[in-house]
Structure 1
Amino acid sequence: MLDNPNKKIKVLIADDERGARLALEVPLRLSGYDVSAVTSGREAIERGQQNHFDVVLTDVFMPDVGGLDVIREFRRFSPETRLIAMTAQGSLEIALEAIQEGAVDFIAKPFDIEQVMAVVERAAEQFQVAPDDDESHLTGSGLIGHSPQMVRVYKLTAYSARTDTTVLIEGESGTGKELVARSIHNYSRRAARPFTAINCSALTETLLESELFGYTKGSFTGAASDRQGLFESTNGGTILLDELGTTSPSLQASLLRVLQEKEVRRIGEHEPRKVDVRVIGATNANLEQLVEGGEFRADLFYRLSVLRIKLPPLRERGLEDLKLLVRHFLKKYSDGVQIADEAMDLLSRYTWPGNVRELENAIEHAVAVCINHLVRVSDLPEHIMAQASPTPIAPQRERTFSLIDDRPTLDELNRRYIQLVLSEMDGNKSRASLALGINRRTLYRYLDSESERTSEQDDNDSA
């Protein structure tokens, strides 16, 4: 992975969970990185003050000194170090705060080791995001979920909020595209200015053009006076163009002019008007396929998709996210209502074609008809009961690193790691003990005890 094997990239891992440290340390060492690991944020800061590290991976939630403090301190005394935050409690607020403090990336636990390796490699070679000076307090975003797919959404939303470039949000209907767009606006420098959302598929071409660009008096029948379009009325703010895939070629040309020239021309008017509006596009269609089929302008697609955020369908987000959303909607519609295990099981076996919006409607229905503050299977909409699959829907996760594929115990992982380091050092116990950070006598004692354990196991097997 490293282009220059003679210059090892120095990586520091800070995590209070032993298994997580080993799961990161082993593959990083195998890939040629010079890896150190510590058990606390305080120790990470002390190590960083004593030695230079190119990349730091830190857990966000650790006792005493947390990962955000680690990021903050490293930015102060080692601003060139690339910092990566890790957490099992992912949220947009945490991602935003980590990135504002200076993290260049954000990883969800349990992590995919291949993804971690790619993130570290990018950080080591070229990926660096300047810290944001904005220290403003963060408020709730309304986005809910801790799955790796949602953490990626939070991360990209945080990046988008810190820039002024165009963004394309992709996802099925009901996944929360407008909520992401509002979050980008609310955390951006344009937050005090208007946010406007318009569904391009809900209006005819003529109506949509007049809504977006405005018109002059007498430009068409019914135009009794001059009127601003949404681009003008949203000046200084953000406009969300939803369902862009339904727009006509002529409207696409007008949108391209807005993005390229920062100007609009009202219907019936020849002189353009300058506007300062951030454009966010959203679609539930595959715009790339529409481009290939000649139904969507390629130049507009590339202008819109400088940053792309893909929202996962609910069926791919896993049971934990589903439960979080259910609890949220139960509280929203009637605080104190609980859901029976059988009902939750049924919800987990439904594929949710309408995604989060459909789930919210189902919970609102169930709360309205339930008795004694308990949602039972019979309270759920009939179509959910009829269409639920025999087994729960869960995201498929590929495990790419054989050392931890079978979820070994910590003792077994420790044994494998020691054997791995010994093999890497060609059996040289002195070098292995240095790499492991333990006394050579400790390594000898461990190998002796391991040999005795193996012998006893062999005797028991042959008995």
Structure 2
Amino acid sequence: MIKRILVVDDDAASCELLREIFAARGWDVATATTPAAARRCFAEQPFDLVVSDINLEADATGLDLLKDFRARCPVILVTGFGTLDAAVTASRDGAWDFISKPFKVDQVVSVVQSALASRGMSSAPPPAAERFVDTSGLVGRSAPMVDLYKEIARVAPTRSTVLILGESGAGKELVARAIHQHSPRADGPFVPVNCGALPENLLESELFGHVRGAFTGAIAERKGLWEEAHHGTLFLDEIGEIPLAMQVKLLRALQEGEIRRVGAARAQQVDVRVIAATNRALEAEVSGGRFREDLYYRLTTATLRVPPLRERREDIPLLSKAFLHKATKTLGRSVQFEPSALALLEAYDFPGNVRELQAAVEYAALHARGGLIRLEDLPPKMQGTRADRPVASDWEKQCFAALPTLDELERRYLAHVLNVVKGNRTRAAEVLGIDRRTLYRMAERFGIKLTDES
């Protein structure tokens, strides 16, 4: 039997694009540009799948349609503004999947095939926390980040132990905090521990606490960090640094849900969810005998990978502007990026990842003269030595020195079109030959405010 799909998007061009993609695979496709039209379509005939944009610029959203249709067929939500909050909300409300624009054709077809194959399976929304406020600090709309948001949304409502993998500075602790904040334990404590920063002889006492007289200097009973995280989340950062002897005790605490203070006669039950993180290849550590295999499998109930910044370069402008906004608050003056400086940041590899980018932006904001961050204001290592740079001839300097960049030309043209059409968004999109979603993204990228709602 031919599968029937309902596509809902307030942008007619987006509807037509998805209709063509799905029709080419032999599926029967109906489209709707308003929530009311979508509901009418569903009332007239059944569908095997609904693919809906979240932001429909109407009295109802894709999330409302999700609640209407999820009991009858799978629903895939699409958005041009991928955020952790959107992914968590979609997962909480029972969406089959969540896709961020711009998407790849193969990606959306694969998700649709999976959803169509699921017909007959339960589509009830998963259990989730009551509060969903994204204060995690995670920033990014690239495909790798949207995939990470979806993984966070899946694991957050559960009790599962989570292992977060990623390079130094990629944001592993932010991911751990996001899981905690979107979990049923959000009102409980989040206790971070840097396992690599604690000496081996203090690690057990710091984690599990001790009784009075347990060792020299133990003049009073002390609660450990594991107990402090009771009814909350314990984040074990750099878990690959824990010595083998301590790994045995950690494994028991994870398996039994109980700990024993150093010097105590009895163990005690503690309700803690453990999230661990490492920048090491733990499988190699297990093979080398430096990490217990049983502990490794206990930690990897759910595994998330945080992408390095070089794998999501399209997020660099967004992150840079967020960091600059913070920095300018501290400096007490307004500073913006010159397009060429932002382009250089986007081209740089950032071995130190997001942490290095934040430091670079703060450096540039501090060294900027006037209201613009220029190339020369960025850290010297990003600019390279003068010997590494091609030397321009006098003729080249005369020809190109005063010419604007392509980014600057695009910004000026967008501003000019908006001025001519008096801010009318629909007309501006028509003149530029783009859809309104692309117009919104362009305006946001260049810091241009769209005023007219039409």
Superposed CA offset, 1:370-418 (max 9, x none): 111221122111111128999xxxxxxxxxxxxxxxxxx99xxxxxxxx
Amino acid at match of 2:103: F
For structure 1, the 5+ residue unaligned runs are: 1-6, 391-408, 411-463
Instruction: Give the 3 Å change call, closer, same or farther, for CA 292–108 of structure 1 in structure 2.
Output: farther
Percent of matched pairs sharing the same residue? 43
Q: CA deviation at 1:34?
A: 4.1
> Partners in 2 of 1:230 and 1:172 — Cα distance?
25
Query: CA deviation digits over 1:103-154, x for unaligned, max 9?
Result: 1211111112332233223333347562457664634432111111111111
> Residues 23 and 308 of structure 1: is their aligned pair in 2 closer, same or farther, counting only changes over 3 Å?
farther
Summarize the Cα distance change of 1:133–1:315 in structure 2 as closer, same or farther, 3 Å threshold: closer
Return the offset for 1:212. 0.7
Amino acid at match of 2:64: D
Distance (Å, rounded) in 2 between the aligned partners of 1:307 and 1:223: 37
For structure 2, list consecutive stretches of 5 or more residues without a partner in the other structure: 390-432, 435-454
Q: Which moved further from structure 2: 297-306 or 85-94?
A: 297-306
- Alignment size in residue pairs: 382
Q: What letter is aligned with 2:251?
A: L
1:133/1:167 CA distance change after superposition, 3 Å: closer
Question: Paired residue for 2:139?
Answer: 144
Corresponding residue for residue 286 of structure 2: 291
Q: 1:32 Cα shift? A: 5.1
| Whole-Å separation in 1 of the counterparts to 2:178 and 2:232 | 13
Name 2:311's counterpart in structure 1: 316
- Contact kept? 2:313, 2:347, Cα under 8 Å: no
Counterpart of 2:225 in structure 1 is: 230
- Who is 1:54 aligned against? 48
Inter-partner Cα distance in structure 1 for 2:381 and 2:310: 16
Secondary structure of residue in 2 paired with 1:334: helix
Output the CA distance in 1 between the equivalents of 2:359 and 2:91: 34
Q: In 2, Cα distance between the equivalents of 1:99 and 1:270?
A: 45
CA deviations over 1:181-200 (Å, ceiling 9, x no partner): 11111121111111100111
Change (3 A) 1:351 1:237: same
State the Cα distance separating 1:31 from its structure 2 match.
4.5
Q: Distance in 2 between matches of 1:358 and 1:340?
A: 20
Shift of 1:22: 4.5
Deviation at 1:316, TM superposition (A): 1.2
Matched, 1:113 2:116: no
Determine if contact 1:93/1:141 at 8 Å carries over to the other structure: no
Whether contact under 8 Å (1:93, 1:140) holds in the other structure is: no
User: Aligned partners of 2:234 and 2:155: how far apart in 1?
Assistant: 14
- Shift in Å, 1:52: 2.6
Q: What are the Cα deviations for residues 431-462 of structure 1, in whole angstroms up to 9, with x where unaligned?
A: xxxxxxxxxxxxxxxxxxxxxxxxxxxxxxxx
- Which amino acid is the alignment partner of residue 107 of structure 1? I
* Mapped pair 1:347 → 2:322: no
For residues 49 and 283 of structure 1, do their structure 2 counterparts lie closer, same or farther at Cα, with a shift above 3 Å needed?
farther
Give 1:332-411 correspondences, 5 Å limit.
332-335=326-329, 336-386=334-384
* Counterpart amino acid of residue 54 in structure 1: D
In structure 2, do the counterparts of structure 1 residues 347 and 133 end up closer, same or farther at CA, with 3 Å as the change threshold?
closer
2:116 partner amino acid: A
8 Å CA contact 2:129–2:157 kept in 1: the answer is no
**Alpha-carbon distance, 1:302 to partner:** 2.2
Equivalent AA in structure 2 for residue 194 of structure 1: P
Q: 1:129 to 1:385 in 2, by over 3 A?
A: farther
Residue 83 of structure 1: which of 75, 79, 84 is its match?
Answer: 75
Aligned equivalent of 2:252: 257
Paired with 2:128 and 2:93, the residues of 1 have a C-alpha distance of 8
Q: Which amino acid counterpart does residue 118 of structure 1 have in structure 2?
A: S
Relative to structure 1, the CA distance from residue 160 to residue 387 in structure 2 (aligned partners, 3 Å threshold; closer, same or farther) is farther
Does 1:97 pair with 2:89? yes
8 Å CA contact 1:169–1:281 kept in 2: the answer is: yes
How many Å apart are 1:36 and its aligned residue?
3.1
When normalised by structure 2's length, the TM-score is 0.78
Structure 1 CA distance for aligned equivalents of residues 363 and 311 of structure 2: 24
CA contact (8 A) 2:74 2:115 kept: yes
Q: Deviations over 1:147-172 (max 9, x none)?
A: 11111111111222221211111111
Q: How does 1:175-254 map to 2 (within 5 A)?
A: 175-254=170-249
- The CA deviation string for residues 297-350 of structure 1, in whole angstroms up to 9 with x for no partner, is 23222222222221111111123x111111111110115211112211221221
8 Å Cα contact 1:16-1:40 kept in structure 2: yes
Residue type at the aligned position of 1:61: N
Whether 1:73 aligns to 2:71 is no
Contact 2:134 2:178 (C-alpha < 8 Å) held by counterparts? no
Offset, 1:92? 0.8
